Amino acid sequence: QTINGNAVETVNARELHAFLESKQAFSTWIKNRISEYEFAENADYLLHKFVEQTPSGAIIMSKLDCQSAKVLILYTLQDLQR
């Protein structure tokens, strides 16, 4: 993927959400994490606004750069240890 003209490794945010076994709906989880950790669109993550239409609505593809994904993993693991 390309973020701000730089080629970067990215992680599918939906796959990360599933891996972390979050109990929150994906849309709530990703919005809260973006806000909580002050991730910036097109710097820390990419949103593809419309990927697929389903009966329940449009699926939005979210990709996180690897550094942002690491932040989410580390903080989630810390929360689980408490």
Neighbours of 63 (CB within 10 A): 21
**Tens digit of each residue's pLDDT (9 = 90 or more) over 57-74:** 767 778 899 999 999 999
Q: Report pLDDT for 6.
A: 83
Cα dist from 52 to 16, 55, 59, whole Å: 19, 10, 5
Residue 51 clears pLDDT 70, i.e. is over it: no
**Tens digit of each residue's pLDDT (9 = 90 or more) over 9-48:** 999 999 999 999 989 999 899 999 999 999 999 889 888 7
